[in-house]
Amino acid sequence: MLQHPKVKGLSVGLLGFSKGGDLCLSMASFLKGITTTVLINACVANTVAPLHYKDMIIPNLGNDLGKLKITESGHFTFLDVWNNALEEPNHLSLIPLEKTPGPFLFIVGMDDQSWKSEFYAHIASERLQAHGKERPQIICYPETGNCIDPPYFPPFRASVHAVVKKAVFYGGEPRAHSRAQVDAWQKIQIFFHKHLNGKKSVRHSKI
């Protein structure tokens, strides 16, 4: 990535969503050349499968599928399935994000029905500050669900999940969610430009 002609500096930034978020946290924690990380509705513990890096293994955060809930429309929600990342032995799954050199931006949908995104963002904040690091930027969007896509993507509140092969409800009120997508996209660009390029502003969408 650092050799790519579009990369202007000596480092790159990462943007991760949902499970991709904890993968980005892991990359930023252990790989060189990554200085800026943006997480959209993500967990700060390793999830789904154990993470192997060199001679180290971070176990996956456990879950209890017995806590799956079904909405009135027949969709599954995963919000309460995951174990508490702060309790033993689940804390072993926490990603050591304090190892990263650069800043973080957490984008949080307050109606996320897949992850307790605000809870995880505050875990990250407390962990970073406990290690003498800068408090991360956290932006919360009311009535906004899990899938915060780029602007003008049709917001979808449910779909057949690629992993579990079942209809899953992600949350979000369409109008508020759509507005959050527009605002979050600008905030993400401003964050990356500031910390990677040294710029303070970006062009707004003309759509």
**pLDDT in 10s for each residue of the chain, 207 residues:** 878 887 777 788 999 999 999 999 999 999 988 989 999 999 999 999 999 999 999 999 998 988 889 888 889 898 999 999 999 999 999 999 999 888 999 999 999 999 999 999 999 999 999 999 999 999 999 999 999 999 988 887 888 887 778 899 999 999 999 999 999 999 999 999 999 877 666 666 555
* 3-state SS assignment for residue 179: helix
CA 188 to chain CA centroid, Å, is: 12
CA 118 to chain CA centroid, Å, is: 10
What is residue 24's predicted lDDT score, i.e. its pLDDT? 95
What is residue 171's predicted lDDT score, i.e. its pLDDT? 93
Question: Is the Cα dihedral 54, 55, 61, 63 positive or negative?
Answer: positive
What is residue 200's predicted lDDT score, i.e. its pLDDT? 63
What is residue 204's predicted lDDT score, i.e. its pLDDT? 62
What is residue 26's predicted lDDT score, i.e. its pLDDT? 95
Contacts of 62 (CB under 8 A, 6+ apart): 82, 83, 90, 93
What is residue 175's predicted lDDT score, i.e. its pLDDT? 94
What is residue 202's predicted lDDT score, i.e. its pLDDT? 60
Q: Which CATH number fits domain 12-197: 3.40.630.10, 1.10.3720.10, 3.40.50.1820, 3.30.530.20?
A: 3.40.50.1820
Q: Which two tokens stand for residue 194?
A: 């500031």
